[in-house]
Amino acid sequence: MSQPKPKRPPRLQDSATGWKQITDIARRLKFQKELAHSQSKRVRKAVGRVAKMGLSQKPQKQQRFLDRVLEISPEYFLLCAIALSQNLVAYMKDAVLDRLLDTIAKNKKNDAIIRPDIRSYAIDFQIPGAVQLARQNETLSALQEASRRDGTVAEVVMSDAEDDPDNETDRSVGSSNPIQEEQVFGNASLGGIENVIDESMCDAIRGVTADSDSTNITPPNETQSDLTAVPGISSNDPNFTTAQRAVATFEGVIFFAAESIPGSKEREAWIFSCLDHLHVLKRLSCVNEGDGRSLKRKRGAGQEGQPNASDGCNHVIRARSIETTEAQAAVNRQAGNAPSLDSSFSQSSIRPIYQGGAIGEASPRAANFEVVPQAQNVTQIEASDMNMALMAEVGKLKSILGNYLFTGMKLSHIRRREEDSGSMLTDLTDTVRLRLPHRSGEDFKLEVWLCSSFGESIPRAIMSSVEELRIILGDYLFDAMNASNWRKEEKTMGKSACTGAVGVSFPSGKGSSSDSKLEVMLNFETGLSVYRTAYPS
């Protein structure tokens, strides 16, 4: 006699039912005060599944669904992980899931659902992007409050624009109407210009004379490639070198132009791609802070000390700061006064050393990571999860990566392009990046770009056994991975056969000749050691 087939779980026939389950969970959490054990377990499993997206040959349906939800909001990721079980999602039709995703996206900023307690849960369970998003919202709120207190022109411009919908069709850079042109610039300044360059630089971008009532636009045929000829910027200004003016102008133009991109994700991606060129410009033009020239913005009383473009801060993408315990929590750049690194990472006090490595900004050994009051970081606007250390010293990497990974890195297309570029900077590489944690004791994440054939061997080792990874990772990285919080959590849950602390992705598709990306979770102590060793001052 044949066994009866197991019953399938009830299938959600429409997206409205799924949405109701999500909102019901949101309401329930409001009164629960803390997640139940079963709910916590679901969230942790969901985070683990999404973290393995690049490792799975055929990701589960829930895995793919949650990955798309995570792109919308880490808070909705938490709600969906609790409300929609793996089996429930597995039997839902793709069309129903698509409609549900649309509903979630439309309610992304629904404060009745995404309350502070939901954000807090997302941060507690370390859902990717939750910490950065929360801090970004806090910083933006602080900026808006500061803007209201200062009575800035930008606020007036924005309120005028909201009252007059006809302005939308008239906002074009280079408009012959001075009022319209001022509106364009005012809106763009909210996106970054106001916070990264001084007033004369802003005038240069608009093509107007500084400290003048004139708003005549620079004729198109006057490219002003020689910045010493830009009105309002004097070559005799002791605070500016030509290189610093060039870097400041270029950075301001990036954020100014980005305001023409309507979608926030597309805008951030475009800015991110441009900032790579900005880093190269800073390196090649030798702009740094070691020459004693601390550029100041000319925005009025009480604002002279705020940073601008030339201090190496990128206030929208990957913008955090290495702070010391010296005055104003700024980096102490005097070698004789460098404090010890007996310190901790804070949620608001790390600048990735990609800037230190790129322009000689600060030594990681001279950095003391301390909590910085929010009021001191009002201009630091962060993107989702771009807290990254870039440009590692090639000579220091072999002892860290081991023979196998070091060879795979050397054979990658990215490294070959670096070596073929003819640059004097081939002793540095962008093939090895280090993602920094938000708090002391949390894991670092090491990212290594490898030749595709080297990357293809890693998933097989992961699926076979954790110990096989030792041969590929080497003792140093393997022990660091094994000591990571991620791996410890897996062991606590009884997962010892394979691990999600190591992942490989193939951005151009598996089997292609393009590079693969290896990601390895490192415990805090080893990650900090790698940070000190591989990323130059």
Per-residue pLDDT of the chain (537 residues; tens, 9 = 90+): 556 655 555 556 678 888 888 898 888 888 877 788 888 888 888 888 777 765 655 668 888 888 888 888 888 988 998 988 888 887 788 888 888 898 999 898 888 888 888 888 888 887 887 666 656 555 555 555 655 555 543 444 444 444 444 444 443 333 344 444 333 333 343 334 444 444 445 555 544 444 434 333 333 333 333 333 333 333 344 455 777 778 888 888 888 888 888 887 777 777 766 776 777 777 677 665 334 333 333 333 333 333 333 333 333 333 333 233 333 333 333 333 333 323 333 333 333 333 333 333 333 333 333 333 333 232 222 333 447 888 899 999 989 998 889 988 998 988 888 888 766 667 888 899 999 988 888 999 999 999 888 888 888 777 777 677 788 888 999 999 989 998 888 888 887 667 788 888 887 776 666 888 999 999 999 999 999 999 875
Question: Domain count of the chain?
Answer: 2
Residue 154 in domain: no
pLDDT at 400: 93
b/e code 185-218 from CB counts within 10 Å (16+ = b):
bbbbbbbbbbbbbbebbbbbbbbbbbeeeebeeb
Cα separation, 354 vs 335, whole angstroms: 20
Helix, strand counts (H, E) of the chain: 21, 7
Residue 45 in domain: yes
Cα separation, 78 vs 80, whole angstroms: 6
Cα separation, 412 vs 516, whole angstroms: 8
In angstroms, what CA-CA distances link 4 with 8, 9, 10, 486? 12, 15, 17, 40
392, 325 Cβ separation under 8 angstroms? no
In angstroms, what CA-CA distances link 515 with 454, 479, 504, 518? 9, 25, 11, 10
Residue 169 in domain: no
In angstroms, what CA-CA distances link 218 with 203, 214, 222, 223, 351? 11, 11, 7, 8, 36
Residue 206 in domain: no
Cα separation, 266 vs 3, whole angstroms: 53
Domain stops at, among 128, 145, 173 = 128
pLDDT at 445: 94
Q: How far does the chain reach from its first CA to its final CA, in angstroms? A: 74
Tell me which residue range forms the domain holding 512. Answer: 391-534
Domain stops at, among 128, 160, 184 = 128
pLDDT at 70: 87
Cα separation, 529 vs 434, whole angstroms: 11
pLDDT at 519: 93
Closest by alpha carbon to 129, among 73, 47, 175, 50? 73
Residue 382 in domain: no
pLDDT at 524: 94
Residue 302 in domain: no
Residue 372 in domain: no
Residue 289 in domain: no
Cα separation, 173 vs 260, whole angstroms: 10
Domain stops at, among 61, 95, 128 = 128
